[in-house]
A and B are shown apart, each in its own frame.
Chain A
Amino acid sequence: QFQLQESGPGLVKPSETLSLACSVSGGSISNYYWTWIRQSPGKGLEWIGYIYYSGRTNYNPSLKSRVTISVDTSTNQFSLMLSSVTAADTAIYYCARHGRTGNYFYFDYWGQGILVTVSS
């Protein structure tokens, strides 16, 4: 049974970089895709991007210029960096696992979420 836990600062200043980590327990980070999703009242649920354990990434084009997702298999963690943040980036950030059955993918394990507020 996988468990995911987000960590990082809950307050980030405008124009700075948001940095979050997701710790994975209960199983290996290997052989799976891992994703970041955020939720704000104004934009609902928004997929940010994913990373494969090998390091291959895919990002939401709307955020691509500001997003970096990385993985550390030695610590069973993956991370999110979002640069040049504004108030519009205020949201609850979730990390999640891509489960897979055949050619179908879905988000089957989620962290509890972490509220990040962008404010000076």
Chain B
Amino acid sequence: DIQMTQSPSSLSASVGDRVTITCRASQFISSDLNWYQQNPGKAPKLLIYAASSLQSGVPSRFSGSGSGTVFTLTISSLQPEDFATYYCQQNYNIPRTFGQGTKVEVK
């Protein structure tokens, strides 16, 4: 299985901060990497697909980059509704696998 490792596991930030989350794959996955946001008690929501493509309806403050084994999700200016847990997910191989999550908390 391809292991997806996110860092940090949690972070504290303030509204307006620039936030960056890193996801590392245990082997090459090209650009086959998706990012999701999950709020408590809710299903994950797709933010970014194919490493850098913004899903329709997602605010442009979210962006993704990377290819191969290292990827980043950036929130350019954190908003109150962005305090949530974020997951990366690879679609390159079976089984599909997710990172362990990064919780963005209020500082």
* A44 at interface, CB cutoff 8 A: yes
* B20 at interface, CB cutoff 8 A: no
By the criterion of a CB under 8 Å from any partner CB, how many residues of chain B are at the interface? 24
**Number of A-B pairs, beta carbon distance below 8 Å:** 60
Which residues of the other chain, B, contact A94 by a CB distance below 8 angstroms?
Answer: 43-44
* A31 at interface, CB cutoff 8 A: no
Which residues of the other chain, B, contact A45 by a CB distance below 8 angstroms?
Answer: 44, 87, 89, 98, 101
In A88-105, the 8 Å CB interface with B consists of 94, 96, 99, 101-102, 104-105
Q: List 25 A-B contacts (CB under 8 A).
A: A44-B101, A45-B44, A45-B87, A45-B98, A45-B101, A47-B95, A47-B97, A47-B98, A60-B94, A61-B95, A94-B43, A94-B44, A96-B43, A99-B46, A101-B49, A104-B49, A104-B50, A105-B91, A106-B55, A106-B91, A107-B44, A108-B49, A110-B43, A112-B43, A113-B43
